[in-house]
Structure 1
Amino acid sequence: MLPKKITRKRKLSWSTESGRGLIYQAVAVIALALVSWYLLSNTNKNLNMMQIRTGFGFLSQPAGFDIGESMFGFIPSDSYLRAFVTGLANTLRVAFAGIVLATLLGTLIGIGRLSKNFLLRKLCDGYVETLRNIPLLIQLLATYLVITELLPSANDAIVLLPYTYLSKSGLQLPIPEWSISWSLAVLGFVVALFCAHLIRRSARRKQDVTGYAPKIFWPILLTIVALPAAGWLLGGAPLTLDIPEVTVFNISGGVALTPEFLALLIGLTLYTASYIAEIVRAGIQAVSTGQVEASASLGLSRPQALRLVVLPQAMRVIVPPLTSQYLNLTKNSSLAVTVGYPDIVSIANTSLNQNGQALECISLIMLVYLTISLLIAAFMNWYNQRMMLVER
């Protein structure tokens, strides 16, 4: 029989190390509770003396102001709560798009910094050294100035693609008129992503058993294309588009990306991509040269070696600092107020100036950014766990 594990009880005694530890922790908790109680009571007393309302009851009252950019539509008679939700949606929109674009651009520039092509390497070096050493606020203002001052007016808009116009009014794009068929197409795309995941898992299992790696690129591509197309066809296959039209004073129709949104998105993307490029470069260089030589001995080309051998191993080094850059980009989006983009901070400032409930408005801002940051960190930590080496 195995001997029973002896457990020692922690006694609340000053003469023992564990007892002193418990006493110290209890004193710290009591001190923290007293300080918190004092701060809250003192704040409440001062607010009552100055006859300032407290509480979140104001959220149900009409906001009384307009929001220039809203994903769901907003009118002044809507409540403060709807205004905050609109600001949150705008924050999430620019943060998600910025993370995706900054990751793609930063990865390409990071790889470019290791290129054998002298011109490409120096251009990437110059990009990183320039963008990293200019404050983000200055870059946002410069980008907004370029869009609003240097671009032509709406009636002389630059035609980027058919029915796609860039001007001082922003970027106007054609968009399909929403119907049930597009809803089915989106549903088909979600199902296709799940099916692609199952195909990839099945291929990995087959490779573990047989040592042979099945080719899954074309089956996955066919799945991702076929299922949304099937949903679109099932809904009637509409081809009607809402196309922008250039008029004398502006561009009507389609979907518009405002100058404020473009300035913020471009500024956040370019700035964050310069840091991600350095992370990617460091992660690639952290992979042993023996791995590169082994892949070359197997007949893999440089792009194949990078995609199949180097980057999967480099991700173990890249992911932790990449998480910090995602968090920085999300929090840096609060600078949207400098270019007039109605994010959660801008909405809270306007609400604060109207109702005077600064504590509640600032608390909502803090809660929003804390929640978003914790969700991003949790997802990236989960992904990092999947990328880590598993010791046997």
Structure 2
Amino acid sequence: MAEGRKVEANEKKQPEKKYRLHDMEPWQRRRLFGSIAAVVLIFGIFLIATCCQLYQDKVAEDAYWNQYLQEVSPELQEKVEEFSGDATHVETAVYLEQVRAVDIKNSQFEVVLQVGYRWEGDPELDFATNETVHFYKGKTNGLTLLDEYHEGSTNYQLIRYDVVINKQFWTPRFPLESHQLRIYLEPSENVNSIVLVAAADESYTNPNLGITGYQLTRFDVAQAVIAYDDPLLNPAFDEYGDNSSVYKTEVMAQLEINREGIGLFIKCFIALYGTTAWILLCLYICTFRRVDPLGMIGAAFFGSVSNIMVGANLVPDALQMGLLEYGNLFGVGIIIAGTSVVISINAIRKEHGSEAFAQFYGRVMLALFVVLVVVGNLALPLSSML
């Protein structure tokens, strides 16, 4: 009797035979390989397309930066030289003192900068007023004359400006994005009166410049010439647009800032990471504990919706599709695909009565999802940063 119980106990302790590929029936092969192919194909195409777009957007920053530093076209330069014979040429140097705010939600940024003006002749010219120069798409909050010099024909003024500039921010790589901020200083007079000349070699930034959430990567200054096609009923304008009244010079200061650290990225996606872990947990308990976790999946959808709202509150309503949306789509896709796998495991058990294949199928799909989650959640942010 005792020996019989001992043999029975030993048999119970023996491990179950592992389920292998060669043990599968045709319908089981179709179920397994069909599921793998669908997941790899759908998520593979999604990740390749989105990562390529994010990477190309990052690479395009250099071309976009250099585009605004190109010299004035020969045609416009010829017009300036033609009509500015009697104009006062003012060398203009820019010192970026502070970036007070970068407000993506409200499409504006605020900077404090010092601008030095040096010119020969016309001692009556005064840049310490808002009437002489203005900022394109900007509002001057404060203007302070810091220094002034007049001796002989040489004149100099140093002005500090506190100005808010309106800007439509480019957000495909938010919240790991970079921004190019441009400040256009334009005289109120045309080139027949004032020509601003950019002193790029004498322009620089505050070495202790601090920008909340960002770091400055580059800064430069260039000259631009604007041709106004519509002179707003100016009687001096002729129909061919050759009159000097339609041309103005600008000094453009541009800076590029990159998101500093990944703190905001984690804040935007931490809830989604939690829901993704929840789905993987559901797959695990369904596979190894033989528990139907469909009732638990509703919490994952609630978490994903909460995650979407965090990022949506930080950007304008009219934003471009990018990292924020792609990350949320990827997470929601994992939730939906994981739910489908749980349903499939339950169907294998109930409809086919094949517990061994249900566990094998669940293990394979769980391993695939773990790899997919790791690869996807690394590839998307890295494509925006490299």
Instruction: Give the TM-score taking structure 2 as reference length.
Output: 0.29
Higher helix share: 1
Instruction: Give the TM-score taking structure 1 as reference length.
Output: 0.28
> Which has the larger Rg?
2
Higher strand share: 2
